[in-house]
């Protein structure tokens, strides 16, 4: 029995090792990883199973970073990253499949917009306003294409999504059905991008991403993260304040403790780097500091959630995503989009989303009770009387969170993929960087975090060990074979 268990552990180790089944060439090097989010855990798993001595320092009292599964409502609910986007080609889906994690498409239904208990399909509302939507949409798309062409010459020709929309939007239409529908669509865009359209790059905007198929792990991301963290040396409640590098060693100060390593991988959210919560000695190169400033993160907007658990489901089980038109442009993104998570959580729970500038205002200025009342007001506008008692609720405040300072990165005006590549470049062959913001494409996603962790694990392995690697053993590669 012991022999079988040893064999199982060796197979698990081989699966994450860049040396595969060859255990002769193990590097005697120590690596510190700052942050136990997905990118940090992926890199730690690969490096540890390849033979490096790996320690993960995490500021929070939990692993996961911006993947956060909460149990305070008596059921698992993902209050950070929730979805596996573009599921057909997503490495996170392949990894989950390898781990035997069940997956489900969510949401499944068409989108419904409610008013006083009456549901209208979004498609019907669009058809009803088709002529005016075309009069706005055609010149907007033309401006988008022209901006993309000019941006290819130089990022200085970029414009914000919001400035173009404001210029083209017909005056006096804000409170009509057409105007409220446009503002609802803009609020959805701000939810996807995690910021206000006033600072969002028009050139980088990709409308096709809204049509991708999305799935969720059941019951949440938590089992996948726990499996990933098994066997790793993870130190919780260890916020790092300083990274010093001289010669071939790196010194990291976390609280009252000092750690030494041959290399350090920094995986903290971009907001932490923007606010200089970690002091680097010597200072990071000027081009990296400039890239950190140019990449969009937390300026004037955020994406937050509220989870509401009721005594029973009072919404139509055939409709798992719905919302309502904003009462005014200032109310856009204020819980006008809801998703039922009854299937993954196994409980009558709704998730409401706040996005853009109004979400940033609520994050920093509202109490939890005020946020709850705003969410309930939205549901009453939609359904009239709420046909169930509220059992409990949980709000997120990613902008105020001292260890995230925002939800995720976005393409700011004038920002380019080159900035993210600069952010990802190592410093002095000893300081490495990972996280969703370091990926030039598909940033702001779970897959970006995963792939950046793999990328830097391979880079550290090449720098400190050897050029030989067998990346095909990794679960998201192995499944493809």
Say if residues 309 and 353 touch (Cβ distance below 8 Å).
no
Per-residue pLDDT at 49 = 93
Tally Cβ neighbours within 10 Å of residue 29.
18
Write down the pTM of the prediction.
0.94
Angle, helix 286-294 to helix 417-424, in steps of 10 degrees: 130
Domain 77-218+299-395 in the same topology as domain 2-66+222-295+415-478: no
Q: Cα separation of 139 and 168, whole Å?
A: 8
For 404-441, give the DSSP string: TSSS--B-BTT--HHHHHHHHS-BTTTEEE-SGGG-SS
Say if residues 473 and 20 touch (Cβ distance below 8 Å).
yes
Per-residue pLDDT at 479 = 57
CATH 3.30.70.100 for domain 77-218+299-395, yes or no, is no
Using one digit for the tens of pLDDT, what is the confidence trace for 264-274? 999 999 999 99
Per-residue pLDDT at 3 = 46
Write the class of the CATH domain 2-66+222-295+415-478: alpha beta
Q: Which residue in 293, 298, 279, 290 sits closest to 431, CA to CA?
A: 279
Q: Cα separation of 301 and 333, whole Å?
A: 10
Angle in degrees, CA 362, 368, 371, rounded to 5: 50
Using one digit for the tens of pLDDT, what is the confidence trace for 341-361? 999 999 999 999 999 999 999
Q: Cα separation of 16 and 381, whole Å?
A: 51
For 90-158, give the DSSP string: -HHHHHHHHTT--EEES--SPPEEEETTEEEEHHHHHHHTHHHHHHHHHHHHHHHHHHHHHHHH-GGG-
Instruction: Report domain extents, the chain.
Output: 2-66+222-295+415-478, 77-218+299-395
Tally Cβ neighbours within 10 Å of residue 25.
11
pLDDT bracket for residue 10 (50, 70, 90): very low
Q: Cα separation of 453 and 472, whole Å?
A: 15
Q: Cα separation of 172 and 48, whole Å?
A: 61
pLDDT bracket for residue 87 (50, 70, 90): confident
Per-residue pLDDT at 25 = 61
Residue 182 main-chain phi, psi, to 5 deg: -60, -45
Using one digit for the tens of pLDDT, what is the confidence trace for 231-273? 999 999 999 999 999 888 999 999 899 999 999 999 999 999 9
Mean pLDDT, to the nearest integer, of 180-208? Answer: 94
């Amino acid at each position: 029995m012991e022999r079988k268990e040893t064999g199982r552990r060796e197979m698990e180790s081989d699966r994450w090792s860049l040396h595969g089944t060859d255990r002769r060439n193990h590097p005697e090097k120590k690596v510190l990883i700052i942050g136990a989010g997905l990118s940090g855990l992926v890199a730690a798993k690969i490096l540890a199973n390849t033979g490096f001595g790996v320690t993960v320092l995490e500021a929070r009292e939990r692993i996961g970073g911006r993947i956060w599964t909460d149990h305070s409502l008596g059921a698992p609910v993902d209050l950070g990253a929730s979805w596996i986007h573009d599921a057909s080609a997503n490495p996170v889906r392949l990894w989950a499949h390898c781990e035997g994690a069940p997956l489900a498409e969510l949401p499944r239904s068409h989108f419904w917009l409610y008013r006083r208990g009456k549901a209208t399909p979004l498609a019907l509302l669009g058809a009803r306003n088709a002529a005016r939507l075309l009069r706005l949409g055609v010149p907007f798309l033309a401006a988008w294409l022209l901006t993309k062409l000019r941006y290819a010459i130089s990022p200085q020709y970029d414009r914000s999504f919001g400035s173009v929309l404001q210029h083209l939007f017909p005056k006096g239409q804000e409170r009509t059905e057409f105007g409220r529908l446009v503002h609802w669509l803009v609020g959805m865009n701000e939810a996807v991008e995690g910021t206000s359209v006033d600072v969002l790059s028009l050139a980088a905007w990709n409308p096709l991403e809204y049509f991708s198929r999305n799935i969720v792990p059941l019951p949440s991301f938590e089992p996948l993260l726990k499996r990933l963290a098994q066997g790793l040396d993870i130190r919780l409640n260890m916020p790092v304040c300083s990274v010093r590098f001289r010669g071939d060693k790196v010194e990291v100060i976390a609280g009252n403790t000092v750690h030494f390593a041959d290399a350090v991988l920094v995986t903290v959210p971009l907001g932490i780097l923007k606010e200089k919560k970690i002091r680097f000695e010597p200072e990071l190169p000027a081009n990296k500091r400039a890239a950190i400033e140019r990449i969009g993160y937390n300026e004037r907007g955020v994406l937050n959630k509220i989870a509401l658990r009721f005594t029973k489901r009072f919404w139509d089980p055939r409709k798992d995503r719905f919302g309502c038109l904003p009462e005014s442009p200032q109310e856009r993104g204020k819980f006008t989009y809801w998703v039922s998570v009854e299937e993954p959580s196994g409980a009558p729970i709704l998730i409401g989303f706040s996005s853009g500038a109004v979400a940033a205002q609520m994050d920093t200025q509202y109490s939890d009770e005020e946020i709850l009342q705003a969410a309930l007001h939205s549901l009453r506008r939609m359904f009239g009387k709420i046909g169930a008692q509220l059992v409990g609720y949980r709000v997120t405040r990613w902008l105020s969170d001292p260890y995230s300072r925002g939800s995720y990165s976005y393409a700011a005006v004038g920002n380019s993929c080159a900035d993210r590549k600069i952010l990802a470049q190592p410093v002095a062959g000893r300081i490495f960087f990972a996280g969703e913001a370091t990926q030039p494409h598909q940033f702001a996603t779970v897959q970006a975090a995963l792939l950046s962790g793999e990328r830097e694990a391979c880079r550290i392995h090449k720098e400190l060990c050897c050029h030989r690697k067998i990346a095909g053993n990794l679960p998201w590669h192995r499944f493809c074979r």
